[in-house]
Structures are given as structure tokens and as C-alpha cells.
């Protein structure tokens, strides 16, 4: 019945073939809604994580707590947040699975290479990478759903259930964030709120759990992305013509972007990274891709901007927190050396 109704939509009559959606419009919209809810959950948990880490550092160092200004406690609420959410939902619904797969593969390549070269700064790099992965996470969820539900007879029912559960999870994560930011300090000191006490005792497990969840999500998305991209090729020769320049191009881009991140400040390096990697993908699609891919990559520029610009405070908070931790580490090392010298003189 649903296919009978959508067959009367005038899309195929008034729009050229390269502007039409790959799947049913309802399926695409539900996939975009699930992906946008995933981005919302990630953003809420990252703000919660940085808030908890700052609270713990203030507790351990009460002398400097009055000098710190929490720059990441700004949250998007009301009309602005809803407009941004539905804008990302629409973009992820329109972006095809082929371009979403390319975004996922590029992000995984960049993430693995950056984590290998990060060294002692791996925690700082992972925090910044989680913030940068918002739109890539949406693409990962979108292409995973496309791959898992491909050929299903009642696909829209499965996606509707997934969208309802995702909306509920995103709503609960947002309510948790607002509750903790408003009442955590009071409840953790008085010890009469179960949620705040749980975060006080086991909140340090949040970051490793979030990293493991993201790894599993992107591993599934990589398998789905490779399958989706290879599905568009009729022979191994066509696949080789596509994968060879893609691999060479992004290997060079990854090396260039790693150098830029060490040379420039955090927020500026992130914006330059987005422009460089999507620009390289755009040039590649102009040579070996289709006009649909070019249009979808231009939409990815808007998607990355709509996800990163409202959360630049998270990147700045992660960078400043790392600098404070390094300063505290230097002070502790200096104090330990002074104590060691005093013990030697007493002997």
C-alpha cells in the first residue's frame, strides 16, 4: 500500500534521475532521523563527559577551581536546537549511501592513522576525534541501516521502530545532561540522587565505554560501506579504477592533515581538515564519480558545518583541559624533585 501511494509522487516526472532519492522517501527520512538521533546522543554524552572531568579536577584542586570557566556548558535548546536537528536529519536523508560510505571509510582511515601517531596524547586526540565524528557517525548509521535492511519486505516498519527507539534514547540523553549540569554538584555532595551518585562512583568508565561503542559502530559501518560501494561496480576492473585513486588520494591527505593539526590551533585545524578532506573527495568524484555524488558531497559540507560549528566549545574545552592537565603534571613533577632533594640534604 505504501509503495502504491508513493508511486504517485511527482518526483520521477519533474526531476532528472540523478536528483532522485536512492530509496523510498519515507525510508530515507527514517534513516536520517535515526542518524541524527545518534549524533544527538554522542553530543550529549561528550558534554556530560567533559563536565564530569572538570568537576573531578575542581574537586582535586580546589585552589584553582575559582579561576576556571566552564566553556562547554552551553547547550543548544529550544528552537535553535530543533532546527539544527531537523536540518541534519534532512541532509542525512538526502545524502546517498555511496557518498555516506566514502565519508565513513575516509573517517576511519584518518582516525586509525591519527590514533597510531598520537602517542602520549592519545586521550586528547580521542576526545577531539569524538567531537569531529558527529556527521561521520550519522553517515555510518545511515549506510549501516541501508545495508542491513536492503531487500527487506517491511523495511519501513523496521526503520520506524528504530527511529522511535533512537528518538527515545536521544531524549533521555538530553534530559540526563540537563539534570547533571544543573544538580550534579548539589546531589553528589549530599548523596541522595541515584543518577549523580552512579556518575560519581563509576563515571570514569563513561569515556572507555563511549570509545568502544564508537569502534563497534564504525566497524559495522566499514563492512556495510565496502559492500555498498562494490555493489555499484559491474566488474573488478571498474572497482580497481575507483579504489586505486581513492586510496592514494586519502593516504596523502591523511599525512597532510596530521601535520596541520600539530601546527595550527585545535578549532582552526578541524575546520581546515573538513575543507581539505571533503574537497579532495569532491575532486575525486568529479573524475571517477557521478553527478549525484558531487551534489551529495556538497551537502556533506553543510552537514559537517552544522555539526561542528555549534560544538566548537567542546574542542576548545578538550584542548584547554589537556593544557591544564599538563601544567598540573609539571607542577607535581617539580614538587617531587624538590622533596627528593630535601631528603638527600637531610641524609
Q: What is the pLDDT of residue 60?
A: 59
Q: What is the pLDDT of residue 43?
A: 92
Query: What is the C-alpha separation between 345 and 347, in angstroms, rounded?
Result: 5
Backbone φ and ψ of 91, nearest 5°: -65, -45
Query: What is the C-alpha separation between 95 and 142, in angstroms, rounded?
Result: 9
pLDDT above 70 covers a percentage of the chain that reads 67
User: What are the tens digits of pLDDT across the range 121-155?
Assistant: 677 778 888 888 899 999 999 999 999 888 777 88
Residues in the chain: 347
Q: What is the pLDDT of residue 17?
A: 47
* Angle 200-204-210 from CA coordinates, rounded to 5°: 125
Instruction: Answer whether residue 92 shows pLDDT above 90.
Output: yes
Reduced to 3 states, what is the DSSP secondary structure of residue 76? coil
Mean pLDDT of the 298-324 span: 77
Ranges of H-type helices in 119-193 = 122-132, 134-148, 155-190
C-alpha grid cell, residue 45:
554524552
Instruction: Answer whether residue 326 shows pLDDT above 50.
Output: no
For 10, 167, 180, 310, the CA distances from 316, given in Å and listed in that order, are: 47, 28, 21, 12
Q: What is the pLDDT of residue 339?
A: 64
CB 187 within 8 A of CB 62: no
Higher-scoring residue by pLDDT: 334, 208: 208
Q: Which of 208, 210, 177 is nearest to 195 (CA)?
A: 177
> CB neighbours of 23 closer than 8 A, spacing ≥ 6?
31, 146
User: What are the tens digits of pLDDT across the range 187-222?
Assistant: 877 777 888 888 888 888 889 999 999 999 999 999
| Other Cβ atoms closer than 10 A to 201 | 10
> CB neighbours of 129 closer than 8 A, spacing ≥ 6?
111, 114, 115
* Angle 167-172-177 from CA coordinates, rounded to 5°: 125
Find the farthest-apart pair of alpha carbons in the chain and give their distance in angstroms, rounded: 93
C-alpha grid cell, residue 308:
561542528
Query: What is the C-alpha separation between 135 and 38, in angstroms, rounded?
Result: 10
Mean pLDDT of the 55-76 span: 54
User: What are the tens digits of pLDDT across the range 104-122?
Assistant: 988 888 788 777 776 656 7
> pTM, whole model, 2 decimals?
0.80
Query: What is the C-alpha separation between 26 and 156, in angstroms, rounded?
Result: 7
> CB neighbours of 180 closer than 8 A, spacing ≥ 6?
48, 51, 52, 195, 196, 199
Give the pLDDT band (50/70/90) at residue 268: low
Helix (H) or strand (E) holding 327: helix 312-346
Q: Which of 162, 134, 143 is nearest to 220 (CA)?
A: 143
Instruction: Answer whether residue 26 shows pLDDT above 60.
Output: yes
Give the pLDDT band (50/70/90) at residue 12: very low
Q: What is the pLDDT of residue 59?
A: 62
Higher-scoring residue by pLDDT: 43, 204: 43
Q: What is the pLDDT of residue 324?
A: 47
Q: What is the mean pLDDT of the chain?
A: 76
Q: Label residue 191 left, alpha or beta by phi (over 0 means left) and psi (-120 to 50 means alpha).
A: left
Name residue, grid cell 586505486: 244
Query: What is the C-alpha separation between 192 and 266, in angstroms, rounded?
Result: 39
Amino acid at each position: 500500500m505504501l509503495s502504491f501511494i508513493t508511486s504517485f509522487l511527482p518526483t520521477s516526472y519533474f526531476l532528472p534521475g540523478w536528483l532522485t532519492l536512492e530509496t523510498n522517501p519515507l525510508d530515507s527520512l527514517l534513516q536520517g532521523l535515526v542518524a541524527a538521533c545518534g549524533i544527538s546522543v554522542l553530543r550529549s554524552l561528550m558534554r556530560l563527559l567533559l563536565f564530569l572531568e572538570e568537576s573531578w579536577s575542581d574537586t582535586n584542586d580546589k585552589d584553582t577551581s575559582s579561576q576556571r570557566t566552564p566553556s562547554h556548558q552551553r547547550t543548544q535548546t529550544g528552537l535553535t536546537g530543533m532546527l539544527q536537528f531537523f536540518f541534519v536529519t534532512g541532509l542525512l536523508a538526502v545524502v546517498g549511501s555511496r557518498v555516506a560510505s566514502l565519508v565513513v571509510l575516509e573517517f576511519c582511515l584518518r582516525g586509525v592513522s591519527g590514533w597510531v601517531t598520537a602517542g602520549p596524547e592519545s586521550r586528547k586526540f580521542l576526545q577531539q576525534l569524538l567531537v569531529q565524528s558527529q556527521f561521520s557517525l550519522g553517515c555510518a548509521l545511515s549506510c549501516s541501516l541501508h545495508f542491513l535492511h536492503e531487500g527487506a519486505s517491511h523495511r519501513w516498519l523496521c526503520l520506524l521502530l528504530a527511529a522511535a527507539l533512537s528518538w527515545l534514547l536521544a531524549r533521555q540523553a538530553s534530559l540526563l545532561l540537563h539534570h547533571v549540569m544543573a544538580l550534579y554538584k548539589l546531589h553528589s555532595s549530599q548523596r541522595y540522587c541515584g543518577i549523580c551518585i552512579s556518575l560519581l562512583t563509576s563515571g570514569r568508565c563513561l569515556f572507555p565505554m563511549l570509545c568502544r561503542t564508537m569502534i563497534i559502530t564504525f566497524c559495522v559501518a566499514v563492512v556495510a560501506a565496502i559492500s555498498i560501494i562494490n555493489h555499484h561496480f559491474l566488474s573488478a576492473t571498474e572497482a580497481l579504477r575507483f579504489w586505486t585513486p581513492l586510496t592514494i588520494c586519502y593516504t596523502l591527505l591523511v599525512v597532510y592533515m596530521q601535520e596541520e593539526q600539530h601546527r595550527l590551533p585545535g578549532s582552526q585545524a578541524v575546520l581546515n581538515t573538513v575543507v581539505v578532506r571533503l574537497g579532495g573527495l569532491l575532486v575525486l568524484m568529479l573524475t571517477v564519480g557521478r553527478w549525484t555524488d558531487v551534489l551529495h558531497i556538497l551537502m556533506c559540507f553543510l552537514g559537517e558545518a552544522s555539526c561542528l560549528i555549534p560544538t566548537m566549545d567542546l574542542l576548545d574545552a578538550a584542548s584547554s583541559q589537556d593544557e591544564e592537565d599538563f601544567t598540573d603534571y609539571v607542577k607535581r613533577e617539580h614538587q617531587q624533585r624538590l622533596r627528593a632533594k630535601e631528603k638527600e640534604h637531610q641524609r
